[in-house]
């Protein structure tokens, strides 16, 4: 029993890592701009498609294709921020509508251009097995967990120690105060969006070779990532990480005891339960001015 | 600003108007999924219809009342939504005035389309949905070419029981196809022989939690109720996790295209039910497989074969009834005729359900297939 | 005065429509009416009270499946089933709403989304009662209303009734308090308003309306399938309310007509229709954020000058 539990925890850490990859970009954008971008999932997907495109058409090097797709998505992110989200700042409702409209446009554009079938992104590194005690896991499990950990650590480092990261944190804590001390908040907005969407692209490009690249690949991770962000506390980066992992582990472990067709519901039920006890999420802070 | 909207809209729409010249057209309605997560199987369905339409028109079209008509497919995307299905049928019946409607992927949507077809005395021929209760509603205008879940499961349960591959565990789509398959199979095998059931949503890609549980339950076999894309992932993950259970799949896992997604080593020994084995020694099947490969560059999918047969049979029914506008006569013709299709002999019973043979094929070590069932159609590696 | 005459004339014309309209147009109008009913409920919640629920259509599903079960398995008559199902949806709204309402803004939205998904799972998985993913067929239309023209008149009447309820609520003290809560909840509470009670009440009312709409929808389609009550449908409902004009009386009608009519009109454009649709949505939020009702109102005013 203990072995089965351990195995599911590790499985859950892997699926949770994917949710974390999506959540990181979303929480960054939310923290700085207070914009909830539902279209983040499709941007994750576009990252996967662009990586596949660059890998098969331009360069045979997977790392290069990955970097290119991140750069491309950063540009797309800036374009979306300036044209759609900046004019709608402060208006939660319309941001939600606009991002839903973006989902329709982007997802169906991808289907119109690439067709509905899934694409395979085959790289040599992903086909081995790793042994942990008596359990054997495919290399990809370990890779996702490791890569996500690296990305999270890099994010923490960037936010804590770099000048721009500090500017980002300042803007998210108190926008007016940041303006007063001379932080160019509009540029911070743009940069946070670019960084957030680049992270989405990174997620899609990392996950693509390990599974498949297809138009709906970002939909479920987005919703789960969102649940993770809420659970962890909106605007909190450690919250997003812990939250995403909790959701992943809860889902996997639940298959040991509960009917598997309710696997998603378990994740949401846990989210609601935790929120009822801690209404701002695990790491959420009270923001001045909010009720 | 609103003026620019309407200009944009108009120019977008005018780009899609098509001018039709030439032979008289006979519109035939198709309902399927062109977008959304079920678009890949929808494409196979469309391939079958397109191939059939091309062949019928290439041979001169349908002769009715002394004139020749070429078939024109009116395709509507129902996106797995029952309301869209009903609207599509309404439009096909009263605006496009089609002779017959074929296709659909989802049982829930078909259940909304069938009553509308009945309202307008328009025959609806299903070629993919497997929900058993579709043919239990007493709708005389509803026909189904493909085997229902009950029929598929019966063939497979029989085979599985004989092989002793129980307890049987499952990994299944959490939709009508997957749930129907699991429920049917469990009913036939009984609780004692049924094991873990792992449901997943269409679009999920990770099966690790299910695989861990299946391994822990010491199941002898795993049945996969899903299409080829998740199927390829599931099998890869199952083998990578070192799980050596017998694999059993659906008709989606019996084609070369599926093989290309994986490799022969992982697939060897896997068994699946099939609507038609592309390389079988029957001339009719061989000819179809070759034509399909020539047109689409890949091996035929079972859905394509079923849809191809559906349209061919509809065309034959129209010739037999001598009409494309009298729905009742067309319906009677369909109900009384027998058609030699690619998937076998198609004859509708009094509930509108056909009883095509259900094959069980198996992957061989060299990437070819053999036929294991029915007994009288057994064939060796390479003829499957 | 003239506005009342115009409305009366429009309503009369709508009732007479089956004499001139094609069956396909009637079908589209029926669906518009049936989509407008839950939209009215959501308009009261979102437009007037400011509650953005992303799980609204799940309550339509509760109404639909309750009625289906009652009519087919328990053999209850149509109208009784409709009444009970509406109450059931309203009751579920009261219970679930009281949980969701403990949260605000983004949290509220996501918690309603979560409940919508959980309810969908029940509809999809509870094979014994809901018949599961393949759908619950054999749902009857009410006696006397089976033909399309008659059902159209029934749907039209139901939609008008829903709009009448909306009008009544908006003009009442209850409606004024809802608007006050949206504008400044703390101030309203300072004046002695029990915010939680009013918000739960409108959530229940909105859910009841959704439930009624759900019953009518599945009896129109003659099947209740989970595919009619997905997250996408709940998002659709939000879009209908906002694009139509949140907080306006005619908003749900305009939104429903647009959201049912436009995809049907664009059917010829196959894969591109959704791209066009999405683009229109983004453009509307940027350039006509108060929705169509306000846009039309402005155009009418401009013409009058």
What is the pLDDT at residue C271? Answer: 64
Any A CB within 8 A of B90 CB: no
Yes or no: say if B69 and B24 are a contact pair by the CB < 8 Å rule. Answer: yes
Confidence check: pLDDT of B10 > 60: no
Query: Token digits for C176?
Result: 């004024």
- Residue A14, min C-alpha distance to chain B (Å): 9
φ, ψ of residue B4 to 5 degrees: the values are -65, -35
| Residue B208 near residue B154, CB atoms below 8 Å | no
Rg (chain A; Cα; Å) = 19
| CA pair distance C151, C220, nearest whole angstrom | 8
- Quick check: A234 and C113 CB within 8 A? no
Tell me: pLDDT of B20 over 60.
no
Chain A touched by C281 (CB under 8 Å): yes
B289: which 2 tokens? 């497989």
What is the average pLDDT score of chain B?
A: 87
* CA distance, residue B35 to nearest chain A CA (Å): 7
Residue B323 has pLDDT above 90, yes or no: no
User: Would you say B124 and B101 are in contact if contact means Cβ atoms under 8 Å apart?
Assistant: yes
CA atoms of C88 and C75, how far apart (whole Å):
17
* List of chain C residues whose C-beta atoms are within 8 Å of the C-beta of residue A265: 117-118, 121
pLDDT tens by residue, B176-233: 889 989 999 999 888 888 889 999 998 888 898 999 999 888 888 999 999 888 898 8
pLDDT of residue C154: 95
Out of A69-73, A276-280, B3-7, C275-279, give the one with best mean pLDDT.
A69-73
**Is B15 a residue whose pLDDT tops 50?**
no
pLDDT confidence of residue A183:
87
Can you count the helices (H) and strands (E) in chain C?
Answer: 14, 2
Q: Is the pLDDT of residue A126 over 60?
A: no
Q: pLDDT band for position C125 (50/70/90)?
A: very high
Q: What angle do CA C117, C122, C128 make, to 5 degrees?
A: 160
Burial C181-206 (b: 16+ CB within 10 A, else e): bbeebeebeeeebebeebbbbbbbbb
Render pLDDT for A154-204 as a digit per residue (tens, 0 to 9).
998 988 899 888 888 888 888 888 888 888 888 888 998 999 999 999 999
pLDDT at C45 over 90: yes
Q: Largest Cα–Cα distance of chain B, in whole Å? A: 70
How much is the mean pLDDT over chain A? 87
B263 touches chain A (CB under 8 A): no
Are residues B133 and C148, on separate chains, in Cβ contact within 8 Å? no
**For range B30-34, the mean pLDDT:** 92
Minimum distance, in Å, between the CA of residue B337 and any CA atom of chain C? 28
Q: Per-residue pLDDT tens for C60-102?
A: 999 999 999 999 999 999 999 999 999 999 999 999 999 999 9
CB spacing of A136 vs B205 below 8 angstroms: no
Which position has the higher pLDDT, B7 or C150? Answer: C150
Summarised one tens digit per residue, pLDDT across range B57-91 is 999 888 888 888 999 999 999 988 899 999 999 99
Confidence label for B277 from pLDDT (cuts 50, 70 and 90): confident
Q: Which of B77, B88, B179 comes nearest C127 by C-beta?
A: B179
For residue A238, the tally of other CB atoms under 10 A from its CB is: 14
CA dist A40 and A44 (Å) reads: 6
d(CA B304, CA B293): 12
Residue scoring higher pLDDT (A285 or A185): A185
Q: What is the mean pLDDT of residues A117-121?
A: 84
Per the CB < 8 A criterion, the answer to whether B128 and B152 are in contact is no
Q: According to the model, what pLDDT value does residue B21 have?
A: 45
pLDDT digits (tens, 9 = 90+) for B120-150: 999 999 999 998 889 999 999 999 999 998 8
Count Cβ–Cβ pairs < 8 Å, chain B vs chain C: 121
Q: State residue B244's pLDDT score.
A: 86
> Hey, which of A209-213, B244-248, B282-286 has the most confident mean pLDDT?
B244-248
Q: Which of A52-56, C163-167, C251-255, C297-301 has the lowest mean pLDDT?
A: C297-301
Kindly state the DSSP code that residue A58 receives in the 8-state scheme.
Answer: I
Contacts of C277 (CB under 8 A, 6+ apart): A104, C262, C263, C266
Residue B313 scores a pLDDT above 70? yes
Give the three-class secondary structure for A258.
coil
Q: Could you tell me if A220 lies within 8 Å of chain B, comparing CB atoms?
A: yes
pLDDT of C287 > 70? The answer is yes
Provide the pLDDT for residue C305. 63
In contact, C97 and C207? CB cutoff 8 Å: yes
* DSSP H/E element including B71: strand B67-77
- Residues C96-108: tens digit of each pLDDT: 999 999 988 888 9
* Cis, bond preceding B374 (omega within 30 deg of 0): yes
HSE of A19, CA atoms in CB hemisphere, 13 A:
33
- Could you tell me the pLDDT band of residue B22, with boundaries at 50, 70 and 90? low
Given an 8 Å threshold on Cβ–Cβ distance, is C106 in contact with A234?
yes
A260 vs B36, B202, B210: nearest CB: B210
State the pLDDT confidence band at B384, using cuts at 50, 70 and 90.
Answer: confident
Checking if the pLDDT of A101 tops 90, the result is no
CA dihedral sign of residues B339, B340, B343, B348: positive
Q: Cβ–Cβ of C227/B86 closer than 8 Å?
A: no
Q: What is the mean pLDDT of residues A51-60?
A: 88
pLDDT given for residue B374 in this prediction: 80
pLDDT tens digits, residue range C223-279?
Answer: 999 999 999 899 889 989 988 888 889 999 999 998 888 878 777 666 677 788 788
Q: Is the pLDDT of residue A252 over 90?
A: yes
Sequential DSSP letters for C88-119: HHHHHHHHHHHHHTTS-HHHHHHHHHHHHHHH
Give the mean model confidence (pLDDT) for residues B357-383.
Answer: 84
3-state percent breakdown (helix, strand, coil) of chain B, nearest 5? 45, 20, 35
**For residue B383, which of B274, B308, B229 has the smallest C-alpha distance?**
B274
- Average pLDDT, integer, range B325-333: 92
- Say if the Cβ atoms of C185 and A291 lie within 8 Å: yes
Q: What is the arithmetic mean of pLDDT over C205-220?
A: 96
- Whether A96 sits inside 8 A of C272 (CB atoms) is no
Measured in angstroms, the CA of C69 and the nearest CA of chain A are apart by: 22
Chain C CB contacts of B1 under 8 Å are: 287-288
What span, in angstroms and rounded, lies between the C-alpha atoms of B218 and B159?
A: 20
Contact B176 C133 (CB under 8 A): yes
CA distance linking residue B346 with residue B334, whole number of Å: 10
The percentage of chain A sitting over the pLDDT mark of 70, rounded to a whole number, equals: 95
């Amino acid at each position: 029993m203990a072995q089965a539990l351990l195995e599911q925890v590790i499985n859950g850490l892997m699926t949770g890592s994917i949710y974390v990859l999506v959540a990181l970009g979303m929480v960054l954008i939310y923290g700085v701009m207070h914009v909830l971008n539902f279209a983040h999932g499709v941007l994750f997907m576009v990252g996967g498609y662009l990586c596949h495109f660059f890998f098969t058409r331009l360069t045979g090097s997977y790392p290069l294709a990955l970097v290119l797709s991140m750069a491309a998505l950063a540009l797309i992110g800036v374009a979306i921020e300036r044209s759609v989200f900046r004019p709608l700042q402060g208006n939660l409702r319309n941001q939600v509508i606009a991002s839903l409209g973006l989902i329709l446009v982007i997802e169906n554009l991808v289907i119109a251009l690439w067709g509905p079938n899934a694409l395979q992104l085959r790289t040599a590194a992903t086909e081995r097995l790793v042994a942990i005690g008596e359990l054997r896991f495919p290399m990809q499990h370990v890779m996702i967990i490791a890569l996500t950990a690296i990305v999270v650590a890099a994010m923490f480092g960037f936010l804590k120690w770099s000048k721009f990261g500090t500017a980002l944190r300042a803007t998210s804590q108190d926008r007016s105060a940041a303006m007063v001390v001379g932080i160019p908040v509009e540029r911070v907005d743009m940069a946070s969006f670019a960084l957030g969407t680049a992270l989405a692209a990174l997620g899609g490009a990392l996950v693509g070779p390990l599974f498949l690249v297809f138009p709906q690949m970002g939909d479920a991770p987005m919703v789960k990532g969102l649940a993770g962000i809420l659970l962890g506390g909106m605007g909190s980066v450690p919250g997003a990480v812990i939250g995403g992992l909790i959701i992943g582990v809860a889902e996997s472990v639940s298959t040991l005891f509960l009917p598997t067709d309710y696997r998603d519901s378990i994740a949401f039920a846990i989210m609601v339960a935790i929120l009822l006890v801690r209404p701002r999420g695990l790491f959420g802070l009270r923001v001045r001015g909010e009720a | 600003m609103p003026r620019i909207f309407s200009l944009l809209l108009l120019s977008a729409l005018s780009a899609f108007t098509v001018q039709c010249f030439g032979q008289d057209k006979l519109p035939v309605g198709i309902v399927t999924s062109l977008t959304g997560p079920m678009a890949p199987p929808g494409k196979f369905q469309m391939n079958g219809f397109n191939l059939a339409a091309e062949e019928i028109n290439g041979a001169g079209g349908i002769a009715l009342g002394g004139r020749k008509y070429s078939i024109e497919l009116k395709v509507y995307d129902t996106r797995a939504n029952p309301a869209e299905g009903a609207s599509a049928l309404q439009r096909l019946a009263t605006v496009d005035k089609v002779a017959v409607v074929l296709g659909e992927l989802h049982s829930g949507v078909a259940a909304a389309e069938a009553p509308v077809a009945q309202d307008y005395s328009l025959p609806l021929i299903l070629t993919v949905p497997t929900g058993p209760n579709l043919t239990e509603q007493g709708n005389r205008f509803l026909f189904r070419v493909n085997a229902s879940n009950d029929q598929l499961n019966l063939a497979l349960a029989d085979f599985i029981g004989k092989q002793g591959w129980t307890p049987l565990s499952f990994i299944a789509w959490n939709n009508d196809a997957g749930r129907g398959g699991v429920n049917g199979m469990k009913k036939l095998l009984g609780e004692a022989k049924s094991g873990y059931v792992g449901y997943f949503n269409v679009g999920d890609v990770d099966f690790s939690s299910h695989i861990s549980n299946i391994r822990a339950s010491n199941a002898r076999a795993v049945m996969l109720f899903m299409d080829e894309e998740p199927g390829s992932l599931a099998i890869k993950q199952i083998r990578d996790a070192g799980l050596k259970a017998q694999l059993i799949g659906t008709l989606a896992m019996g084609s070369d295209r599926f093989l290309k997604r994986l490799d022969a080593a992982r697939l060897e020994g896997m068994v699946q039910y099939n609507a038609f084995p592309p390389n079988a020694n029957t001339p009719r099947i061989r000819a179809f497989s070759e034509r399909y490969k020539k047109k689409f560059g890949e091996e035929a999918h079972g859905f394509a074969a079923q849809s191809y047969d559906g349209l061919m049979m509809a065309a034959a029914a129209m010739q037999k009834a001598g009409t494309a506008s009298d729905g009742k006569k067309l319906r009677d013709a369909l109900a009384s005729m027998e058609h030699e299709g690619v998937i076998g002999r198609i004859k509708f019973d009094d509930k509108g359900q056909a009883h095509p043979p259900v094959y069980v094929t198996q992957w061989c070590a060299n990437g070819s297939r053999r036929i294991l069932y029915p007994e009288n159609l057994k064939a060796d590696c390479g003829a499957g | 005065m003239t506005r009342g005459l115009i409305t009366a004339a429009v309503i009369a014309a709508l009732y007479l429509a089956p004499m001139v309209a094609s069956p396909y147009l009637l079908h589209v109008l029926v669906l518009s009416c049936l989509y407008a009913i839950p939209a009215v409920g959501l308009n009261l919640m979102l437009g007037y009270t400011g509650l953005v629920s992303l799980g609204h259509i799940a309550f339509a599903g509760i109404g639909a499946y309750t009625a289906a079960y009652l009519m087919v398995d328990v053999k209850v008559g149509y109208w009784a089933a409709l009444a009970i199902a509406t109450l059931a949806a309203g009751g579920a709204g009261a219970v679930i709403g009281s949980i969701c309402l403990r949260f605000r803004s983004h949290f509220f939205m996501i918690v309603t989304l979560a409940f919508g998904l959980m309810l969908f799972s029940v509809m999809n998985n509870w094979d014994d009662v809901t018949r599961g993913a393949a759908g619950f067929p054999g749902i009857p239309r009410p006696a006397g209303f089976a033909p399309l023209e008659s059902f159209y008149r029934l749907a039209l009447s139901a939609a008008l009734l829903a709009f009448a309820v909306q009008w009544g609520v908006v003009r009442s003290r209850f409606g004024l308090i809802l608007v006050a809560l949206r504008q400044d909840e703390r101030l309203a509470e300072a004046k002695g308003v029990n915010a939680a009670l009013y918000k739960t009440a409108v959530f229940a009312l909105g859910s009841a309306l959704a439930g009624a709409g759900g019953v009518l929808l599945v009896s129109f389609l003659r099947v209740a399938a989970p595919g009619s009550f997905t997250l996408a449908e709940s998002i659709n409902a939000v879009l209908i309310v906002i694009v139509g004009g949140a907080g306006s009386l005619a908003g749900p009608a305009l939104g429903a007509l647009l959201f049912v009519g436009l995809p049907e009109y664009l059917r010829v454009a196959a894969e591109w229709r959704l791209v066009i649709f999405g683009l229109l949505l983004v453009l509307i939020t940027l350039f006509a954020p108060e929705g169509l009702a306000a846009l039309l109102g402005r155009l009418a005013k401009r013409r009058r000058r």
